[in-house]
Amino acid sequence: MNREHLEAFREQFGSEPDRFIRAPGRVNLIGEHVDYAGLPVFPMALQYAVHVAVRPRDDGLVCVASSYPGYPPREFQLGPEIEPFSDGDWGNYVKAAAVAAVSRYGADRGADLWIRSEVPVAAGLSSSSALVVAVLKSLLDVSEIDADPIELAAVAADAEQYVGTRGGGMDQAISVCASQGCAARIEFEPVRVTPVPVPDDWRFVVADTGVQAHKSGNAKETYNRRRVAVEESVERVGEELGLAAGDRSYARLLSEHDAGELMAVAQQVLDDRLLRRFRHVVTEADRTRRAEAAMRESDAVAFGTLMNASHESLRDDFEVSGPELDRLVALARGAGALGARLTGAGMGGCIVALCTPDRVDSVLEALRDGYFVDSPGGEPPPDLDQRLFVAIPSAGASVSRL
């Protein structure tokens, strides 16, 4: 709990909250743009979270306000039909959670919610999913509904589609199910979460380009187009391999063929654009599996090398990097990071770099001086702590009663 948060709640609603809900953002270490292909990913939850101060209401209204500029107060009635606000309105993330709370769990009690987010918005650190998970947990908690975490993760992932992005389920699963000190392998269909302890001497540095990729706005089309390309490719390759329509999944293809065989078939049936999207997914699946093994063996050099290859694939084959992301990646590598890559959907947002403890300061300094400070010896931006930091693998969402 945070005093300013409490006071902001009092000022907005004229009463006291009786519980706080916390849902963390995440940094994806590897396994990018493959969750919606049904393939495993490997993120960890951050020390930064969305916090909600909550007080139940008995009139069925959900009233929500936030500290974030540009996120004005919103209110609506809980019920079987909840019409969205206009396209791009932040309140739609709240409504997404409310629709799921009512339709999937029968929640019937409204609430006053005051939201404070430490997760940079539209930076590829999953601020949107942390918000959906935090509100969903809040609305279930006031209705005294105790949800199974794995089921909640899947419900939150479906819920977020209400805003129009056809995302995968990685962000919600890690925000709900993360374990302190661990990354996690997340598998899909059905969701499964396997914690993997992060070695004590590994440091993941996160740096935010400041280029925002709003998935309820400018980045939605690009993201959805990538997903369509990924789905179209697997359909065509699966068909060529004689699989029945319902069986043409990446998981099925990869269980029966190695990457070389799949690429040989793909070359016959896909145009250049789809071939590159397909190659990203197939090679990223392999990198993700090997990266998990490298973490289990504390092989930081191998992990870093796989991160580098992931970035190259996202830049060249998947085309979701950009000059700012490439620049941060180059600065981190140049200062001694073992690997660096864009993290999250891309098109802006953050990079993540792996370093040994003795290199952390030089990597932070290189990023700060080479990107965040305009001129040598100049001042960094006031929010530098949230834009450049060492990620601490943190626990999943939680509720605390006052």
Write out the two tokens for 88: 């791009």
Beta carbon of residue 307, minimum distance to ligand NG1 (angstroms, whole number): 14
Is 171 among the residues known to form the active site? yes
Nearest to 248 by CA among 261, 260, 230: 230
Nearest to 159 by CA among 237, 92, 219, 80: 92
Cα 265 to chain center, whole Å? 32
Write out the two tokens for 254: 């990869």
In the complex with ligand NG1, the residue whose CB is nearer, 29 or 101, is 29
Beta carbon of residue 227, minimum distance to ligand NG1 (angstroms, whole number): 8
Cα separation, 179 vs 357, whole angstroms: 22
Write out the two tokens for 167: 């995302």
Q: Is the Cβ–Cβ distance between 303 and 171 less than 8 Å?
A: no
Token pair 């409204």: residue? 110
Token pair 């040598």: residue? 376
- Site residues (vs ligand NG1, CB under 6 A): 28, 32-33, 35-36, 124, 126, 128-129, 160, 165, 167-168, 170-171, 215, 344-345
Which among 35, 112, 141, 171 is annotated as catalytic?
A: 171
Beta carbon of residue 120, minimum distance to ligand NG1 (angstroms, whole number): 11
294: left (phi over 0), alpha (psi -120 to 50) or beta: alpha
- Beta-ladder partners of 352: 206, 341
Beta carbon of residue 26, minimum distance to ligand NG1 (angstroms, whole number): 8
Return the residue nearest ligand NG1 (CB atom): 167
Residues involved in catalysis: 171
